[in-house]
Structure 1
Amino acid sequence: MASEIEQIRLAVSRNIGAKKKSQLGQFFTSASISKFMAEMFANNEKSICHLLDAGAGIGSLSDAFLERWVSGGLNFQCVKLDAYEIDTSLKSHLAQTLSRYNECPGFDLIIRSTDFIQVASDYLSGGLFADKIPKYTHAILNPPYKKIQSKSVHRAALREVGIETVNLYSAFVALSLSLLDDQGQLVGIIPRSFCNGLYYRPFRKFMMRHAAIKHIHLFKSRNKAFKDDDVLQENIIIRLERAGKQGTVIISTSTDDSFKDLSIQEYPFERIVFPEDKEQYIHVPTSSEINALDLSPSISNTLSDIKINVSTGPVVDFRVKEHLCKMPESSSVPLLYPIHFINNGCEWPKQDIKKPNAIKRNQDTEKWLYPNGFYCVVRRFSSKEEKRRVVAKVVDPSKFPDASALGFENHLNVFHAGKKSLPKELAFGIALFLNTTAVDDYFRTFNGHTQVNATDLKRMKYPDRATLINFGEWAIAKGELTQKMIDDKLEILFNE
């Protein structure tokens, strides 16, 4: 039956237009992932299972769960399934998928073609005419992935029940947790973006206030979980236990949804969420070794301690089109994009790019410009093919000898000193530190998307200012650096 459902999934996915997928945030779960998720549930003593599948699609996840049940893998006497799916065009596929269990003793199915967020929020807020919803013992989810507008009806409904979040996927998880009975289990495949960053902080705190993290599975390849839909977001599968006791966390990894190289380890919870971390970032270690940055007393300074700032580049090009210049003009200054930074430094201006090379300096643009000087920049986005998440470069003012100021486009993060340039050695030292393998490995444990936010860079710890200057002096003297040279330089600091 799984192969039949897989054929339906592929056919339905191909026939649904990109616009509709975008509107609903709709991506279907493969048979192999569905089976893996069903197997993540821990067996318990409950005789009755009340299963929630919110955003059921064509029923792949419910089918995998029920298949495990009827095969004797779950010890329930009966299973009552509530399957929510707002896309009415999928209802016949969903009913067909689950129809084979209709003759199973103890199976009961309700398909709800309603808006899960509205129905669940109305019930949880005590709405007078709310649909009655049971306490679920299990929830299996592949929720929609789409931003929630700040003034939308969904955002208002969620706030009524104390849920503050920015995306449908995290809203579905939060509501499902709220509907679970104590010790109820939730297994969901969701983007990893909630693990860090300011926007998901309320959701992280909500999740950890109401549930224990029991198991996280990480796909090493960013685009393999939903490869048929060209999804580049890095995804994890997570198992949560409502009101559970937080203990060790299982971390499993695989390259893709074949699970051929599945690896499983257990970690203490303090390796996942650091006890002193008020932001409650969720780290997903993929090695039993503790990252060197966590161990070294020499790397304990905030950017404030070393008198450095980091900001997102302030020039948003589509908002200042009238001030942009394809090539430098007498009244303009350089406008730097990630494309200007190549392996060996900065190439500006570039003739063969679609982006402008300069921005006019005037009263309207002055507030966005920095004085010409030394800076360290980090690209905000990395492509899926790149091995490194953090890529730092030095801005050298000698590349722009006639420029009085510089513009940094919004896809760059800029290290500066109160919107002024850095000492040359410090700029090189920051870049060297950020380009170490240890920093990249550390960053990946809590950053699960292609974006490198200024907030994440602020949150990191750094060597002290004198050490960074020493790094910079060494880098300048050496000139061309290999990755081994960079990592060996940091290793000396660890061994001091």
Structure 2
Amino acid sequence: MLATSTVEQKRLFISKNTESQKKSKFGQFFTPARTATFLTNLFPDARGNCRLLDAGAGIGSLSAAFLERWENQKGFEFEQVDMDAFEIDDTLHIHLVQTLEKYKLNENFTLNVRGDDFIHAAVASLCGSLFSAPLPKYTHAILNPPYKKINSHSAHRLALRSVGIETVNLYSAFVALAVALAAPRGQIVAIIPRSFCNGPYYRPFRDFILEHSAIRHIHLFGSRNKTFSDDGVLQENIIIRLERDGLQDNVTVTTSADDSFADLTTHEHPFERIVLPEDSERFIHIPTSVEKNALELSPAIRYSLNDLGIKISTGPVVDFRLKEHLRDMPETGSVPLLYPAHFSGSDVTWPIEGMKKPNAIMRNAATEKWLYPNGFYCVLRRFSSKEEKRRIVASVVEPNVFGETALLGFENHLNLFHENKQSLPKALAHGLTTYLNTSAVDENFRRFNGHTQVNATDLRLMKYPSRAALIKLGDWAIQQAELTQAMIDTKLETLDA
């Protein structure tokens, strides 16, 4: 543990004294010692020869934890360890070598520190380039890859495309390349943002890893801001173990509140709960208990929005593009403009004096096409705050709140359920809102969505009760003097198929 604690002291010092601009440039945040040890312990026991890859090695925190397990003979009985450590920031090489030099005393360990670009080196090797030495087939890869978007026309994007990898971020590129470079049954353990689990942009990446590897283990942190708290990183991260060419079986899911892992819980789930068989988008769900919730148990919840004749759209009014037409308060010729701030739970308050955002938008030739008829709608905020209890918060737009106005504007930070740009029947709007506000829907949504963002695409792919069942639920909700969470959760269990 001495080496690891020394590395931790170094990590804290360098992190504190590195400008945020440089961190952003490289997209790299060093792994805390406890997290590094946890990642290392996810590898199954192994023997023989180890060919280890650490891409984006930083100061060597992950490598040190891996080699410490080998040196202490805790399930690693390797006769030889040959390691490639890629780190493009050459100012870190001295720290990386210092971290790993103690292991070089072992004649069965070799270290190759590489300062070249991992993506280009990996692609060159996979393509069989004559101008670069081929990389080995790695038996083990341990990664805390950089987090940074890849421009669609960049050299990285074109290089990745040449080996069949289509992705939008460095972290997913590093993981895909590690899988591509792995030996059969090679093990890849990585701590990465959870954003790849859903959404259309990461669909090709999901396809790639599911085609070439099996998911063995996923670890989920309860708090989104504790993993790299020293660096102020608020991105929700998970730890994942993949096995190259593995036969997909059950997946182990562990959870902990933070990186102390003090309250670690472990469950095993059939793969069908991780990637739903009927899901063409192949979203990766992360259940936190073995019990099925009401959505999984109910035969009534099996319809798509298409089946219901309902559409969902992002609010079309992008305020900075229509700035000259916005008004702080309603005036002659204007119509209501609705922001998330106008909705609190099931209540709609409009207008709000002194609000930082405008309350109205002028109705004219430039704005008309962005407006909806006044009527009943179900709306959701597109963004939640970092640690908010609920990700999905739905509200009903009631037309009588806005008087005699004929049209409404919905700002871009709202998602809007409608019928071909027309309002919904009153009972249907209330029923859909009530359904979306159940605990089961929120919990189910969180299984595949690790963002603060609630995308229309994600909502479109969810399952819903039938139109008739939603109308019946809406009629019930309208009749209640007050709706509590317990009431709507109980009511969900009685829905008719």
Q: TM-score, normalised by structure 2?
A: 0.97
Unpaired runs of 5+ residues, structure 2, are none
Asked if 1:414 is matched to 2:416, the reply is yes
Match of 2:389 among 387, 390, 393: 387
Match of 1:317 among 316, 319, 328: 319
1:111-135 Cα distance to aligned partner (Å, 9 max, x none) = 1111111221222223331332111
The SS at the match of 2:77 is coil
Give 2:53's aligned residue: 52
**CA–CA distance in structure 2, aligned partners of residues 230 and 395 of structure 1:** 37
**CA–CA distance in structure 2, aligned partners of residues 405 and 329 of structure 1:** 14
**CA–CA distance in structure 1, aligned partners of residues 334 and 124 of structure 2:** 56
Which deviates further from its counterpart, 364-373 or 299-308?
364-373
Which deviates further from its counterpart, 116-125 or 217-226?
116-125
Asked if 1:365 is matched to 2:367, the reply is yes
- Are the structure 2 counterparts of residues 182 and 307 from structure 1 closer, same or farther at C-alpha, using a change threshold of 3 Å? same
Structure 2 counterparts to residues 210-359 of structure 1, below 5 A? 210-359=212-361
Give 2:485's aligned residue: 483
**CA–CA distance in structure 2, aligned partners of residues 460 and 246 of structure 1:** 25
**CA–CA distance in structure 2, aligned partners of residues 92 and 319 of structure 1:** 49
Give 1:64's aligned residue: 65
Structure 2 counterparts to residues 384-463 of structure 1, below 5 A? 384-463=386-465
Alpha-carbon deviation of 1:397? 1.3
Task: State the aligned residue count.
Answer: 494
Which deviates further from its counterpart, 88-97 or 410-419?
88-97
**CA–CA distance in structure 2, aligned partners of residues 191 and 240 of structure 1:** 15
Structure 2 counterparts to residues 68-147 of structure 1, below 5 A? 68-73=69-74, 74-147=76-149
Query: Which residue type is aligned with residue 14 of structure 2?
Result: V
Alpha-carbon deviation of 1:276? 2.0
* 8 A contact 1:233–1:450 mirrored in 2: no
**CA–CA distance in structure 2, aligned partners of residues 125 and 366 of structure 1:** 53
Alpha-carbon deviation of 1:267? 1.2
**CA–CA distance in structure 2, aligned partners of residues 362 and 117 of structure 1:** 51
**CA–CA distance in structure 2, aligned partners of residues 199 and 205 of structure 1:** 11
- Are the structure 2 counterparts of residues 372 and 272 from structure 1 closer, same or farther at C-alpha, using a change threshold of 3 Å? same
Asked if 1:35 is matched to 2:28, the reply is no
* 8 A contact 2:128–2:134 mirrored in 1: no
- Are the structure 2 counterparts of residues 363 and 126 from structure 1 closer, same or farther at C-alpha, using a change threshold of 3 Å? farther
Unpaired runs of 5+ residues, structure 1, are none
Alpha-carbon deviation of 1:344? 4.5
* 8 A contact 2:346–2:394 mirrored in 1: no
Alpha-carbon deviation of 1:5? 1.2
1:126-150 Cα distance to aligned partner (Å, 9 max, x none) = 3331332111110000011111111
Query: Which residue type is aligned with residue 394 of structure 2?
Result: A
1:147-206 Cα distance to aligned partner (Å, 9 max, x none) = 111111111111111111111111110011111111100000011111111111110010
* 8 A contact 1:55–1:83 mirrored in 2: yes
Give 2:16's aligned residue: 14
* 8 A contact 1:138–1:186 mirrored in 2: yes
**CA–CA distance in structure 2, aligned partners of residues 63 and 316 of structure 1:** 49
Alpha-carbon deviation of 1:328? 2.0
Give 1:203's aligned residue: 205
**CA–CA distance in structure 2, aligned partners of residues 67 and 358 of structure 1:** 63
Q: TM-score, normalised by structure 1?
A: 0.97
